[in-house]
Structure 1
Amino acid sequence: MKKILVVDDQLTVRRLVEMTLETRGMRVLQAESGEAGIALARAGRPDLILMDIMMPGGMDGFEAVRILRSQPETSACPIIMLTAKDQKTERLRAFEAGVSDYLAKPFKLSDLLQKVDNLLQPVAAKG
């Protein structure tokens, strides 16, 4: 069973993503801040992380991604930035921080599932 970590301060977003991914047989972990997301990623070892940009506290999604990329236990985990910020500058900052993909809110559930599936496929099965 694949384990997905959703880091978003909006409970409704976390629950929607959880319900959607659970229909695919995935287990969903949730965190509401960058700090909590990093701690849960280290402890829970997810197969993929969905990360918001704007969250309460002192850490945004960009900083959380940079920290996750710098840690040996989380550096290889695929990360999708899932955010309301859809400007070109935010997309560029996200990829510079180390995200694997980017999805702007509001999003189609089918787009989310496609991105998740693409990143969870074994490398040998792609292409």
Structure 2
Amino acid sequence: MNARILIVEDQADIRRLIRWALEDSGHRLHEAANGALALQIVQAMRPDLMLIDVVMPGEISGLDLCQQIRQDPTLAEIRLVVLSASAAPHEREQALAAGADAFLAKPFSPAQLCELIDELLHG
């Protein structure tokens, strides 16, 4: 399955690393540098999966973005993966409470990322 994946990350270096990790996956990759832009892209593109950083500039954090997507029934099928620089248990709990399907602490390996995406997209 060639899924549409939206990478929502404010740091260009990390977006580049994620793109590099997924470049051979066959998925169509799109990027947003903040939550507001991500919301615009989500409405237009309807990605299959989103990789969302917790801390982003602007008024919409990664957790806010998850909540807004989960509140819209037309976006319910999108798989949400929250990425965080913190591996603290409360970070994972907050992400799942906001509607994330999975949580991945940075740094993570390309293999970890690919396995998680495959699991979420293919069950």
Q: Percent identity?
A: 35
Report the counterpart of residue 42 of structure 2 in structure 1. Answer: 41
Q: Which residue of structure 2 aligns with residue 17 of structure 1?
A: 18
Q: Is the 8 A contact 1:69 1:76 kept in 2?
A: no
CA distance in 2, matches of 1:43, 1:14: 20
- Counterpart contact for 2:54–2:61, Cα < 8 Å: yes
Tell me, in whole angstroms, the C-alpha distance in 2 between the residues paired with 1:74 and 1:29. Answer: 17
TM-score, normalising length from structure 2?
0.94
Quote how far apart the aligned CAs of 1:22 are: 2.1
- Structure 1, 59-68 or 81-90: larger mean CA deviation: 81-90
Asked whether 1:95 is paired with 2:88, we answer no
Which secondary structure state, in structure 2, belongs to the residue aligned with residue 113 of structure 1? helix
Q: How many residues align?
A: 122
**Distance (Å, rounded) in 2 between the aligned partners of 1:6 and 1:117:** 16
For 1:113 and 1:58, the matched residues in 2 are separated by 30
Matched residue type, 2:107: P
Name structure 1 gaps, 5 residues minimum.
none
Root mean square deviation of aligned Cα? 1.0
Q: Could you give the per-residue CA deviations for residues 30-60 of structure 1, whole angstroms, max 9, x where no partner exists? A: 0011111111111111110000000001111
Matched position secondary structure for 1:73: helix
The letter of the residue matching 1:52 is D
TM-score normalized with structure 1 length: 0.91
Aligned partner of residue 74 in structure 2, secondary structure = coil
Q: Aligned with 2:81: secondary structure?
A: strand
Residue number in structure 2 paired with 1:71: 72
Q: Tell me if the contact between 2:63 and 2:95 (Cα under 8 Å) persists in the aligned partners.
A: yes
Per-residue CA deviations over 1:60-101 (Å, capped at 9, x if unaligned) read 111110001111232221101112122111111100001000
Q: What amino acid does structure 2 have at the position aligned with 1:39?
A: Q
Q: Is 2:82–2:95's contact at 8 Å kept on the other side of the alignment? A: yes
Name the CA distance, whole Å, in 2 between partners of 1:40 and 1:49. Answer: 11
Runs of 4+ residues deviating >6 angstroms: none
Q: Deviations over 1:107-127 (max 9, x none)?
A: 111000000000110xxxx4x
**Residue 54 of structure 2 aligns to which amino acid in structure 1?**
I
